Amino acid sequence: MTPAILVSSLLILLVTTDGGIGEETSTRTSSGGTVTPVTTTDTPLLSDNDIEISCASTEIKVRIKSPHPDFNGMIYPQGLSKNSSCLTEYYHTDSEWIEYKIPLRSCNTMKINEGSNEEFYNTIVLEPHPKLVTGQGHGFHVRCKYKHNINVQMNIYKDGEELKTEHVKIGDPLKLNISFEHPTKLPFVVTNCKVRDGLGWTEETLVNADGCPVDPEIMGSFVYDKTGNSASVEFLAHKFPYSPSVYYTCSVRVCKNCHPPICNGKVNLRKRRDANVDDGDQPATIEVYNVLWVNEANEQAEADILKEKEDNGEVLCFNQRDFALAIAFSGLFLMIAVIILIFVLCLRRRNSAKSSSESNSSIYSGGYTNTAYSHSS
């Protein structure tokens, strides 16, 4: 499937050293002729002319104006600073522009289905050092929209609601649904379903070429709707150990002689029964895919607790600079309080010692009579 380019947009998140964040949104047509700002900050760190974006059929191309001549740094998708296949390093780049390509189906690029359109988005980070992650990087939230040229798509649901930007955790019950937007006149069968990591390193087959599950404990057999317009399968959320994003792809074979498989393990019994049937039908194969962001169970629990506390006003967020100043002033105040306390204790001790000395040196000056020399007359 080669989607026709509809609109591309770029949301720039500018991260400053003091923790402040500004936003600037630009809308660009596929021809790349103009940039129209939607919202801007009071003091933008990057202008519209500093960034260019173009949406290709398999990748998003980003051009960023070099911060300075002889640039040394790196660009990587957020969360993948350790992955060499998605990270690009730049050494002594004397070009005016820095170019970076984001694949649509890996490197944590996510997708949202919007009717007949689909939107791809990712967050990339420009670091001014080729090896170190610093606090001086700029973040760019990149989006591209494409127009569907076919009417079949894959959607993933949780608790009956379609997942768009929500994260799930390992073990969550999900439902993968493949459906035609408009009724199809021919039957279809779902085959060759695979799951890949977000780095392009490995993949696992879930449904084989006959349309039967490879490991029913991971993903079972598709259930085909009686109307013949959709097929779905329920499964538990899973992920690869080193990547939170998982990509699902399936082939949809449409033909006159295509029928839902009757699976006995990995074997399609219907295929044997229909082996002698040949009506010259040439099947059309369409590839559909979707992507999920899956967290570890404990990560999701911590995120849910934090979000609940934020909603209840139990979590206070401070600017990094203000927080540092507050800590410094608190430390200074505590030090002054300790000094005053020591001074007061020393003063009290001195006064106590003086009072004790005066009490021990007192002299009795009353009358005195020596009876040894007294005589009675």
**Can you give the pLDDT at residue 359?**
56
236: its two tokens: 């538990």
112: its two tokens: 């949202």
DSSP designation for 33: -
To the nearest 10°, the Cα dihedral for 264, 267, 269, 273?
Answer: -170
pLDDT in tens, 35-80: 222 333 333 355 557 888 889 888 999 988 887 778 888 898 988 8
The alpha helices in 209-263, defined as continuous H runs, are: none
**Can you give the pLDDT at residue 66?**
82
Total-model pTM:
0.63
**Can you give the pLDDT at residue 12?**
40
353: its two tokens: 């010692």
Listed in order, the ranges of the chain carrying CATH 2.60.40.4100 are 152-310
CA distances from 118 to 61, 103, 178, 207, 245 (A): 17, 15, 15, 25, 18
**Can you give the pLDDT at residue 318?**
57
Report the CATH architecture of 152-310.
Sandwich (2.60)
DSSP designation for 136: T
DSSP-based three-state secondary structure for 221? coil
Spans in the chain with pLDDT lower than 70:
1-48, 83, 149-150, 265-283, 297-321, 353-377
